Structure 1
Amino acid sequence: MSSGSRGLGARISGLFACHFLGFGFFLPFFPLVLQARGVEPAHIGYVLGGATILRILASPVLSSLSDRSGRRRRSIFLYSLFGGAALLVFLAADGMPLMALAVAVMTIFQAPIVPLSEAYALSAVKHHGLDYGRMRLWGSVAFVAGNLVGGWIVQVSQGVLIVVGMLVGKAATGLMAIALPNPSEPASASEHRDSSAVAEDKEKPRIFASPVFLAALLCLGLIEGSHAAYYGYSSLFFGRIGISDSLVGLLWAIGVIVEIGVFAVIGRASLHMSPLIMVQIGAGAALVRWTLFPLAENVWAMVPLQCLHGLTFAVAHFGAVRFVAGLVSEKWSATGQSFLASASGVLMAAGMAVSGPLYRLDPSYPFWLMAVCATAGSIGLIAMRGALVRQQQKYG
């Protein structure tokens, strides 16, 4: 690998790191920021829930606009800029309506950044031989750093510094994006792209409306969304079986550390496995993890289940991203990734909504439902294998 390719890989790693650093401030701590700004607890759910719906809807639309123009790095820069401006409005806002509007705008422009970054990274993998896993792992590292720093900040401020941390993340993301080179590819690939550009433009609506693509999204969303009960109720379950708060944090950290380790080595492993096999490995691990999760009675039983996070998330996500990239043309890669993110988001939200009533009935039920979801997604992909392979052969 040339020094230029290594430099490109470092910049893409930095892009992931900058975005997920800001997200590491946002995800755990932004509800506390809203509370500190005087938003009633009941209204916090409405603000964040409405923003989630807008994120799911906005991601494919804004990603498609970027794909159509072919200016992904400039789009990331502009979307980061607009999102940062919305955060400044949030800081200056006096009253919930304006704060809610600012959060909505910020979320809309935050939505396409990861799909666009994924598409740029996958293009670099294809044309420069870079390792996607080793670039993406820095996003996980930065997310953990944001969690740790945010946990300290939130104890010494009323939330303003959390928003400042999010602003730093957005500004850094925009600067890293605009510092990336324009996508380059071999001359033969460029000539082929020029000759087929019109055909790809015409084919784009058919790609994303095809039953094969939509069914694949449903199956992949079921597998990735099978983490819903974990994200929503695992900490409650840990406490229920007598695990202390400090050990709860340790258990979560174990999962993320294993995830980072898997991303570090998965690039080479993927040379010997198809994306579909990787997704199936993740789904199989999810079946084991969520079936056994409610049966674990202490922290020692939970540790190996947390280690499976490297398979249920990292391997499944890596496989899903590559899988979707193989179903669509490179021109519309970011749009394809945004549909994957939206499908996973919808099914994750639905899983969390259903998990609440199930947890009240019996704490085991939501986790067992997640095992069923992962299994259903896996069976669906197996049933469609022939049609999916034919679709991938067009662009793989």
Structure 2
Amino acid sequence: MRDGESERGAGLTGFRRLTWWTVPGTTVCLLVLFYGEWVLDPDVPALARVPVALALVVDAVVGAALLGRPLSPSAAADGVHPPRPPRHVLVVLVAATVVLAALPLARRAYELWAVAPAVTTAVCATFLRPSHRRALLAGAVLLAMLPGAAVSLAAGDGEFAYAALFPAGLVAFTAWTVLGPLWAWNIAGRLDRARRLEAELAVRDERLRFAADLHDIQGHHLQVIALKSELAARLVERDPARAAAEMREVQQLSADALRDTRAVVRGYRRTTLDDEIANAGKVLAAAGIDTRTSLEPAAPAGDMADGTRHLLGLVVREATTNVLRHSRARYAEIDHRITGDRARLRVANDGADEYPGAGDGTGLTSLAERLRAAGGELTWHRDGDRFEVTATLPLGRADAPPETLKEVAR
């Protein structure tokens, strides 16, 4: 998404325009208003008015350009402080500021001479880090007391307090009025970037969930297909009929895998806990694993939320795949029961030869995160060659899987 489109979507275009008129626009107007009156004053000698007029043009143009840099789309998109301007630009700005300060100060215009230095200080502060910015502003406020006080003492005009305090207050006030709106704009830009980042993370998270589901489906089906194909190859000579039956099951499993993959892509597929438990028993039995299934629901089936069934079905599928892929099991047990307001599922097997959670797929770690987000828990532990996976979920709190990638991206 382009920066302009993002700003329009977040309503920042009007805020950018308001900030521009508040900071660069108002600053230029104040410079012209204060110094313009002095330049047009016939009591001021022409030798002083002409340099001030030229310096006013330079200071207004350069100052507006520099104050507009933090409002540029590139600075807003990067989310960092704008790069410091070239040194020669700062030299020109400081030279014009010196002219605008020295000539009015020479005529004891205590209310005028500090306007340009105050603006220049605020401009330079916009390009500094917060700690350096505070040091610059504190130093500028203290330093602003000295020129007017010195001139007042030398002239003996009795305006020492005014000449010392008014410029210092002017520097502080100018910094506040310039940096305040820019700070607000920076915060708005950060919030907009956070909003866009949240949307991107939601899309990536959904892609990861999609990849996890696809891995579960393809890994499960392909593991069973490979197992049955190997069995059919061993039976083809001594028992052709059974080998043909096994290959027909392989054909059916391939069709199921294709159907399930298409369903996942469309975002419609959901696991059914009862079907997953039944399929797990059949698959493990086909692999020669003695499997015992224990179902002891203590509540009506309708009390369990669809999201809970879906997540527990994923656990059954992943645990079954791990038994086939990461063990030499001779015995397996699937236990599902409802106690109070929580559903509990336990899958155990012997012959474990490695840690399933450290495999090459998303595995149990990914499922643990999903169950934790749904208010449940997924744990696994190994005791010798026995491996056990236990999942618990609240009956009615587990949310359905998040919206599809297309819906999140929208």
TM-score, normalization: structure 1? Answer: 0.22
* Bigger radius of gyration: 2
More helix by share: 1
TM-score, normalization: structure 2? Answer: 0.22
More strand by share: 2
Higher relative contact order (CA 8 A, sep 6+): 1
